[in-house]
Amino acid sequence: MNEIGHFIGGRKVPGTSGRFADVFNPATGEVESRVALASPAELDQAVAAATEAQADWAAQNPQRRARVMMRFVALLNEHMDELAQMLSREHGKTVEDSKGDIQRGLEVVEFAVGVPHLQKGEFSEGAGPGIDMYSMRQPLGVGAGITPFNFPAMIPMWMFAPAIATGNAFILKPSERDPSVPIRLAELIMEAGLPAGVLNVVNGDKEAVDAILSHPGIAGVSFVGSTPIASHVYATAAQHGKRVQAFGGAKNHMVVMPDADMDKAADALIGAGYGSAGERCMAVSVAVPVGEATADRLVDALTPRIESLQIGPYTAENVDFGPVVTQASLDKIRGLVERGIAQGADLVVDGRNFRMQGYENGFFMGACLFDRVKADMDIYTQEIFGPVLSVVRAGTYEEALGLANDHEYGNGVAIFTRDGDAARDFAARVQVGMVGVNVPIPTPLAYHSFGGWKRSVFGDLNQHGPDSIKFWTRTKTVTARWPSGIKDGAEFSMPVYHQG
Ligand code: NAD
């Protein structure tokens, strides 16, 4: 059986802990490889390799670091098909969707090519008599990233591209569900000229994560995954004195106003709700039509579209979405659908009994649509992370806004309307980090920053864009005075350069 180890010090190394996890092909339900789960000792090796490589890497001038990123972009484009096939095989999403996953990561690498400009400090000439003051943005040292299964190319690149470009060395702990692409990314960036040890990939589970959170050699931690783990990562890493950002789960609402173009709104909901089998942190899982007539029109527009969705393995043509990632995930989704029925929601489209001919052991789930969902039902309060869309009928615009604002999560949200006033008011007042106006998945591009609000995030700075440069660097401010500006004698009072 294919065995996936780690990538430490510039080469692939086998796992030595003796612990492994199965990696499935979700379309067939079969185990295709097993991935090594690192012990704290293996993490130590990666930290040692990263520490050794970091100072020299940081000392390279920023154009040289940028050129590695440039060559990496070229290699990602060259290997796009290979990476997408590899990704779909372990994740289950369609090959086109995998290419989108890689492309969105690649764009963060393109953003990181701008590091000579992005990392520039500031300078104040004549801040006092004979005094100049300047600030520098220096790398933290060794950073670590812990990533979820759903974007095994994009999210690692969200983290390691800006971290490495700014002069850090990096340890990536990818999801144990789809570990092949992250290792391949490490090989490709080495081919692009990255020195050995600057990017390391350590596969593993909770044991590796907990070792990262307390490791004295790691200065910064970035996490993306579910909210309970994000909150644990945030608290533990902070307790150990690390800079930390941790991104969690979501329940993204899409408000449909009575004046919206109903066909466009329904198409948007279908793509955003069921694309990637709903396994996106920016998936729309709640539709909020305003008014009964809007709700009836929306459900009428959604139902035939959902019934004609094409589900299948990534190897088939014209597939809208594939299986979910694991049997455990499938069981959880089915369980929540049962809860929805038991708690009184109307299951308008029932995908529970979908079976894929020839792939009976695959983790396939048909699309489900619930209507008349209430705010206290489990299918509304919990993240389902599957192909299940809930319609919550709101009487008024204020009620719709209140639903998004009162939800525990605040990752993404959208409003569909032709009314500029309503859209503007919504964008201003909604308590959510990323807002779409007639855009169902408002995932910011690489040169803006990505992040939610409320319990979708723990920490201050967001992913990629300007925030990522701040997160992966720390500011040092130098106040300099040369002998001609120094007065004789000791100064005992607080230095004040200009009074009055
Ligand atoms: P997960 O929380 O199960 O796993 C994420 C990472 O944490 C993995 O690397 C995993 O190995 C590790 N991990 C799992 N259990 C752990 C534990 N007990 N202690 C320490 N580490 C642990 O998430 P997932 O199922 O891989 O991904 C789906 C989740 O990620 C969803 O909740 C989704 O909303 C969220 N997500 C959020 C964003 C965002 O930007 N906010 C983006 C993508 C995914």
User: Active site residue: 47, 53, 211, 281, which one?
Assistant: 281
Q: Is the pLDDT of residue 283 over 80?
A: yes
How many helices, marked H, and strands, marked E, lie in the chain?
Answer: 16, 23
Contact 5, 203 (CB under 8 A): yes
Which is nearest to 143 in space by CA: 226, 229, 36, 57? 57
Predicted confidence at residue 188, as pLDDT, reads: 98
Which is nearest to 297 in space by CA: 263, 344, 348, 272? 263
| Closest residue CA from atom 30 of ligand 1 | 225
Strands of 257-411, DSSP E: 284-289, 346-349, 368-371, 388-391, 409-410
pLDDT category at 483 given cuts 50, 70, 90 is confident
Query: Mean pLDDT score of the chain, rounded to an integer?
Result: 97
What CATH number is given to the structural domain containing 64?
3.40.605.10
Q: Is the pLDDT of residue 500 over 70?
A: no
| Closest residue CA from atom 26 of ligand 1 | 148
Predicted confidence at residue 74, as pLDDT, reads: 98
Contact 332, 321 (CB under 8 A): no
Active site residue 368: no
User: Amino acid identity, residue 486?
Assistant: I
Q: Is the pLDDT of residue 333 over 90?
A: yes
CA 211 to chain CA centroid, Å, is: 22
Give the CA dihedral 245, 251, 257, 263, nearest 10 degrees. Answer: 110
Ligand 1 atom having least distance to the Cα of 147: 9
Q: Are 287 and 168 within one domain?
A: no
- Give me the DSSP letters along 102-125: HHHHHHHHHHHTTHHHHT--EEEE
Q: Is the CB of 176 under 6 A from ligand 1?
A: yes
Give the CA dihedral 294, 296, 302, 304, nearest 10 degrees. Answer: -140
- From the CA of 223, how far away is ligand 1's center (Å)? 8
Q: Is the CB of 411 under 6 A from ligand 1?
A: yes
Q: Are 195 and 309 within one domain?
A: no
How confident is the model over 93-122, as pLDDT tens digits? 999 999 999 999 999 999 999 999 999 999
Which is nearest to 251 in space by CA: 21, 26, 453, 496? 453
- From the CA of 150, how far away is ligand 1's center (Å)? 9
Q: Is the CB of 178 under 6 A from ligand 1?
A: no
Q: Is the CB of 313 under 6 A from ligand 1?
A: no
Q: Are 364 and 351 within one domain?
A: yes
| Local structure of 180: helix, strand or coil | helix
Q: Are 60 and 167 within one domain?
A: yes
Predicted confidence at residue 71, as pLDDT, reads: 98
Predicted confidence at residue 495, as pLDDT, reads: 81
Question: Does residue 424 lie in a domain region?
Answer: yes
Question: Does residue 319 lie in a domain region?
Answer: yes
DSSP 87: H
How confident is the model over 378-436, as pLDDT tens digits? 999 999 999 999 999 999 999 999 999 999 999 999 999 999 999 999 999 999 999 99
Question: Does residue 313 lie in a domain region?
Answer: yes
Phi and psi based region of residue 469 (left: phi greater than 0; alpha: psi -120 to 50; beta: remaining): alpha
Token couple for 252: 């993204």
Residues 338 and 389: their CA atoms lie apart, in Å, by 14
User: Going by DSSP bridges, is the β-strand pair 122-128/30-36 parallel, antiparallel, or unpaired?
Assistant: unpaired
Question: Does residue 92 lie in a domain region?
Answer: yes
| Closest residue CA from atom 15 of ligand 1 | 206
Predicted confidence at residue 494, as pLDDT, reads: 86
Q: Is the CB of 37 under 6 A from ligand 1?
A: no
Candidate of 224, 232, 252, 383 to mutate for ligand 1, largest count of ligand atoms within 8 Å of Cβ: 224
Q: Are 239 and 296 within one domain?
A: no
Predicted confidence at residue 67, as pLDDT, reads: 98
| Closest residue CA from atom 18 of ligand 1 | 206
Which is nearest to 205 in space by CA: 417, 42, 20? 20
Domain containing 348 equals: 252-437
What CATH number is given to the structural domain containing 375?
3.40.309.10
- From the CA of 205, how far away is ligand 1's center (Å)? 11
Q: Are 37 and 180 within one domain?
A: yes
Strands of 48-195, DSSP E: 122-128, 131-139, 142-146, 169-173
Q: Is the CB of 141 under 6 A from ligand 1?
A: no
Q: Is the pLDDT of residue 484 over 90?
A: no
Q: Is the CB of 384 under 6 A from ligand 1?
A: no
The contacts of residue 360 (CB under 8 Å, 6+ apart) are none
What is the arithmetic mean of pLDDT over 279-300?
Answer: 98
Residues 411 and 432: their CA atoms lie apart, in Å, by 6
Which is nearest to 95 in space by CA: 266, 317, 421? 317
Q: Are 190 and 308 within one domain?
A: no
| Closest residue CA from atom 42 of ligand 1 | 281
Token couple for 349: 């489209």
Candidate of 149, 233, 413 to mutate for ligand 1, largest count of ligand atoms within 8 Å of Cβ: 149
Predicted confidence at residue 496, as pLDDT, reads: 81
User: Amino acid identity, residue 43?
Assistant: L
- From the CA of 227, how far away is ligand 1's center (Å)? 8
- From the CA of 492, how far away is ligand 1's center (Å)? 54
Predicted confidence at residue 315, as pLDDT, reads: 96
Question: Does residue 306 lie in a domain region?
Answer: yes
Q: Is the CB of 264 under 6 A from ligand 1?
A: no
Residue 30 has phi, psi (to 5 degrees) of -95, 150
Q: Are 337 and 424 within one domain?
A: yes
How confident is the model over 138-171, as pLDDT tens digits? 999 999 999 999 999 999 999 999 999 999 999 9
Residues 21 and 23: their CA atoms lie apart, in Å, by 6
Q: How far apart are the first and last CA of the chain?
A: 77
Q: Are 324 and 293 within one domain?
A: yes
Q: Are 225 and 256 within one domain?
A: no
Which is nearest to 51 in space by CA: 197, 201, 209, 216? 197
Contact 399, 346 (CB under 8 A): no
Token couple for 308: 């004609």
pLDDT category at 498 given cuts 50, 70, 90 is low
Q: Is the CB of 145 under 6 A from ligand 1?
A: no
Question: Does residue 448 lie in a domain region?
Answer: no
Predicted confidence at residue 492, as pLDDT, reads: 86
Q: Are 378 and 256 within one domain?
A: yes
For the chain, the domain total comes to 2
How confident is the model over 166-223, as pLDDT tens digits? 999 999 999 999 999 999 999 999 999 999 999 999 999 999 999 999 999 999 999 9
Q: Is the CB of 314 under 6 A from ligand 1?
A: no
Residues 349 and 160: their CA atoms lie apart, in Å, by 41
Q: What percent of the chain has pLDDT over 90?
A: 95
Question: Does residue 56 lie in a domain region?
Answer: yes
Q: Are 150 and 205 within one domain?
A: yes
Predicted confidence at residue 138, as pLDDT, reads: 98
Predicted confidence at residue 497, as pLDDT, reads: 75
Predicted confidence at residue 30, as pLDDT, reads: 98
- From the CA of 228, how far away is ligand 1's center (Å)? 9
- From the CA of 229, how far away is ligand 1's center (Å)? 7
Question: Does residue 443 lie in a domain region?
Answer: no
Write the CA distances from 248 to 185, 233, 287, 453, integer angstroms: 24, 10, 21, 10
How confident is the model over 419-429, as pLDDT tens digits? 999 999 999 99
Q: Is the CB of 149 under 6 A from ligand 1?
A: yes
Token couple for 331: 């069981």
- From the CA of 140, how far away is ligand 1's center (Å)? 24
